[in-house]
Amino acid sequence: AEEVGGGDKEVVREYFNSTGFERWRKIYGDTDEVNRVQKDIRLGHAKTVENTMLMLTEDRSLAGVTVCDAGCGTGLLSIPLAKEGAIVSASDISAAMVAEAEMKAKAQLPSENLPKFEVNDLESLSGKYDTVVCLDVLIHYPQNKADGMIAHLASLAEKRVILSFAPKTFYYDILKRIGELFPGPSKATRAYLHSEADVERALRKVGWKISKRGLTTTQFYFSRLIEAVPM
Ligand code: SAM
């Protein structure tokens, strides 16, 4: 395996512009070119998106709400957000992902509702948004980088932050299955799990508290979903 220490982000960018892009484009797509494990991950991830949309819409409308979708991937969250009338800023470290997301959005949304797409790593994002959402991106952050990443996302948000991450509680389960998640050369991208307590502590340090919690598990997909609001 590749040593990724300080160069994590470069490895991740390179991966999601090449083999990782091809792999995840299929998983996040809707064609049959996926194996059983990938299909299971597709279903699990769809539930995370669905639960996120529920969290965001159950007590208010998204019309006119500004949302930052940090690490937007192929746009699977950005597009339904825009459909609900949110003003979406979608960004990803991978240019290939952003191009795919933009293509999908253009096929599904009227031009006046299109998210604003940008190639950017989330540490470089600035501005203020009502809501900042970051789904299944923390898996690329070791614990010593996660606190800073969470603090930065919170600094961009005025009302709420929604994060999902692979929870450490399922460590042994995941360990057994991780080989199937990252087969072949893509193993160079390490997967980092996070404990809910660590994420909660990172939020608390910058004045945020968890207000809602959800958990999605399928056979090969585990994701803790949390909503945080200012304390
Ligand atoms: N959030 C999307 C979703 O749930 O459909 C995509 C999740 S995918 C597992 C992880 C994404 O995070 C990839 O598109 C990857 O390029 C992006 N990513 C990883 N590290 C990033 C960083 N430092 N800044 C921005 N995006 C990043």
Could you tell me the domains of the chain?
8-230 (3.40.50.150)
Residue 87's alpha-carbon distances to 19, 64, 82, 145, 151, in angstroms, are: 31, 6, 6, 29, 23
Prediction ipTM score: 0.99
Instruction: Report the separation in Å between the CA atom of 157 and the middle of ligand 1, taken as the mean of its atom positions.
Output: 18
Report the pLDDT value the prediction gives residue 181, as an integer from 0 to 100.
Answer: 61
Per-residue pLDDT tens digits for 128-174 = 999 999 999 999 999 899 999 999 999 999 999 999 999 987 665 56
Per-residue pLDDT tens digits for 114-141 = 999 999 999 999 999 999 999 999 999 9
Instruction: Report the separation in Å between the CA atom of 165 and the middle of ligand 1, taken as the mean of its atom positions.
Output: 11
Q: Which tokens belong to 1?
A: 């395996």
The ligand 1 site (C-beta within 6 Å) comprises 9, 12, 16, 24, 28, 71-73, 76-77, 92-94, 97, 121-122, 135-137, 140
Residue 73 backbone zone (phi > 0: left; psi -120 to 50: alpha; other: beta) = left
Report the pLDDT value the prediction gives residue 161, as an integer from 0 to 100.
Answer: 98
Report the pLDDT value the prediction gives residue 170, as an integer from 0 to 100.
Answer: 63
Shortest-distance atom of ligand 1 to CA 94: 16
Instruction: Report the separation in Å between the CA atom of 89 and the middle of ligand 1, taken as the mean of its atom positions.
Output: 14
Report the pLDDT value the prediction gives residue 174, as an integer from 0 to 100.
Answer: 62
Beta carbons of 37 and 180 less than 8 angstroms apart: yes
Residue nearest to atom 17 of ligand 1 (CA): 71
Counting as low any pLDDT under 70, the low residues of the chain are: 1-6, 170-189
